[in-house]
Structure 1
Amino acid sequence: ILGQAIRRKIETLLPLSLAAWAGLAGRVRSAVMERLEPGPQRRRFWEVFTDHAFSEREAPEAEAEVAALVEATGVAQTAREGRVTLVGAGPGSAELLTLKAVRALQAADVILFDDLVADEVLELARREAKRMLVGKRGGRESCKQEDINDLMVELAKKGKNVVRLKSGDPMIFGRAGEEIERLQSEGIPVAVVPGVTSASAMASALGISLTHRDHAQAVRFVTGHSKKGDLQESVDWAGLSDPATTTVFYMGGRMAGRISNRLIREGRSPSTPVVVMAGIARPEEKRWQGKLRDLEIGVAALDTSEPVLIGVGEVFDMLGTMVMPEQPEQKVATASLA
């Protein structure tokens, strides 16, 4: 049974098209030996061939296509072309990674990771990969985005396969747009592997649908602060006061009091249910649930340095009637104000 489980695990990590590529490798081996010089030239061919095999594309079958593949990946490519893949690491647990994310980690030469990425996720990368911390945290000394962009460009131009590993999903408050724009301007191939965003992980952990049709007909993900660290004024605050909308604020811990005051001023009921979570999907996960009017006190009660996620909406009122999923070593705080 253990052997079968190991086999299933290995097969899960391999693309379905790999068998066809393995067969193709046997067919082109003689042609490669005839046309390419021993040493670096042949090694380069097989490196590129292997990249194709793990890219999830189908192996060519027609002889003309096979010949074109040998030509394109053989003599014509004397220098290795670098590339960058933006990978979503999810909220914490390695169990929430996609298979594509795992494959990207195992193919990387260099991994530039945020300090919110869990160690167990980094353990899935191949041993030879160089790991570089480039984390950005509010209120702390951290790497500038421009420096991270420069580093990705520098490494890719040296022929490295770079993985930019981000907590959550790269395309949701992950500054992926700035990085993609810079890489494309330099002519560097860039791909994106999505990850589980924190709001989805929050809903799953609580057992609550963010769009339960009896309570919410819309859901919004909102940044908790602006570039300057203030409350984001360009947000449609009046729209967020709609009782049929569930709103999740990312990185809103320091702005909790101002978020609460602004929503109430725009018409949201002070008794609107709210949930605050930090360290989602990690052993040190913390939660607080209460009312919108008590949000600032609730965030302070968590006493955490982890990024805070704030959920506001009628759907969270269901927590009072549902059995909360068990979370080992979880710390829960509850409002006890009159």
Structure 2
Amino acid sequence: MKHSPSTPGMTGKVTLVGAGPGDPELLTLKAVKAIQAATVLLVDDLVGDDILAYAAPGARIVHVGKRGGCKSTPQAFIEKLMIMAAREGDRVVRLKGGDPFIFGRGGEEVEHLREAGIEVEVVNGITAGLAALSSLGAPLTHREHAHGVVFITGHAKPGDAGTDWRQLAATARDAKLTLVIYMGVSSAAQIQSELLTGLPARTPVAVIQRASLPSQRHAVTTLGELQATIAREGLASPSVIVVGDVVQGVAAVAQAPTAQARTA
């Protein structure tokens, strides 16, 4: 694809693109078109080379890693890069794992870009919480088992008290909700302990690591065995923890908790 250089004197545009959970076949057509048209791509840590292969040969690719527990590019610096490139006339794509508006800081970036007078568009991607349980053949909602779903982070902002897991457990129990916990592996012991104040220890749980990728692994267990299972099976970030009766839909739920490599 021929690269179209930026036009001096013209303000460019920024598109926040959800790259999905990792499998390039789960990209939307609109996401692919945006990636192909970009002259500058600012790429998150979890976006793989298979997705970057859609970029134009002359596009400038800048890796701006954002990953819990690892050294990250400061958010303010990323926003500054987007604004600078757009003002130089570039077509900028901010390429994020999952969906920009689900724990992707997309809301913050849209606000800063609009304040700077930059045109911005958002292209949604499949969020890891949906792809993870779907990859095991189970839904997030079910008329008999779950009337709704809550996407929630297990990683609180510094200085923030974080989620009231006890209250959430009571709400999930009473309203029959599925809990999808992002970035929760490192604090799984605390989450487990507090959820057990309102949910039975037998509540089914699935932990899915690297959802949709060839290296995907998962374990099916119960809330009472959550932390022990994570430790025993060596599951780590990036993982999604799904809590609720919908996990019964996973064929492996009747078996002893085990981590499994995803087969092609």
Q: TM-score, normalised by structure 2?
A: 0.89
- Give the 5 Å matches for 1:181-330: 181-228=111-158, 232-233=162-163, 236-237=167-168, 238-242=170-174, 244-265=176-197, 267-320=198-251, 329-330=261-262
SS of residue paired to 1:253: coil
Q: Which residue of 1 aligns with 2:106?
A: 176
Residue 240 of structure 1 and its aligned partner are, at CA, apart by 3.0
| Residues in 2 aligned to 1:154 and 1:118: alpha-carbon distance in whole angstroms | 25
How many residues are treated as equivalent by the alignment? 254
Unaligned runs of 5+ residues in structure 1 are 1-46, 49-76, 332-338
Larger Rg: 1
Q: Name the one with the larger helix percent.
A: 1
| Residues in 2 aligned to 1:152 and 1:302: alpha-carbon distance in whole angstroms | 40
1:43-99, CA deviations, whole angstroms, 9 ceiling, x for partnerless residues? xxxx79xxxxxxxxxxxxxxxxxxxxxxxxxxxx97222110000000011000000
| Residues in 2 aligned to 1:305 and 1:257: alpha-carbon distance in whole angstroms | 13
Residue 174 of structure 1 and its aligned partner are, at CA, apart by 0.4
1:206-258, CA deviations, whole angstroms, 9 ceiling, x for partnerless residues? 11111111111111111112102877235642313437111100111111111
CA distance change for structure 1 residues 264 and 322 in 2, over 3 Å: closer, same or farther?
A: closer
SS of residue paired to 1:206: coil
| Contact 1:241–1:263 (Cα < 8 Å) also in 2 | no
| Contact 1:240–1:263 (Cα < 8 Å) also in 2 | no
CA distance change for structure 1 residues 177 and 278 in 2, over 3 Å: closer, same or farther?
A: same
The two structures, once aligned, show a CA RMSD in angstroms of 2.5
| Contact 2:218–2:261 (Cα < 8 Å) also in 1 | no
| Residues in 1 aligned to 2:96 and 2:237: alpha-carbon distance in whole angstroms | 15
| Percent identity between the two aligned chains | 44
- Give the 5 Å matches for 1:1-338: 79-228=9-158, 232-233=162-163, 236-237=167-168, 238-242=170-174, 244-265=176-197, 267-320=198-251, 329-330=261-262
Letter in 1 for 2:195: L
Residue 188 of structure 1 and its aligned partner are, at CA, apart by 0.3
| Contact 2:139–2:249 (Cα < 8 Å) also in 1 | no
Letter in 2 for 1:244: K
SS of residue paired to 2:178: strand
| Contact 1:243–1:313 (Cα < 8 Å) also in 2 | no
SS of residue paired to 1:242: helix
Letter in 2 for 1:279: R
| Residues in 2 aligned to 1:245 and 1:231: alpha-carbon distance in whole angstroms | 23
CA distance change for structure 1 residues 128 and 321 in 2, over 3 Å: closer, same or farther?
A: closer
Q: TM-score, normalised by structure 1?
A: 0.70
Unaligned runs of 5+ residues in structure 2 are none
Tell me: higher relative CO, structure 1 or 2? Use CA pairs within 8 A at least 6 residues apart: 2
| Residues in 1 aligned to 2:159 and 2:238: alpha-carbon distance in whole angstroms | 14
| Residues in 2 aligned to 1:323 and 1:271: alpha-carbon distance in whole angstroms | 12
Residue 308 of structure 1 and its aligned partner are, at CA, apart by 1.4
| Contact 1:286–1:302 (Cα < 8 Å) also in 2 | no
CA distance change for structure 1 residues 149 and 228 in 2, over 3 Å: closer, same or farther?
A: same
Residue 203 of structure 1 and its aligned partner are, at CA, apart by 2.7
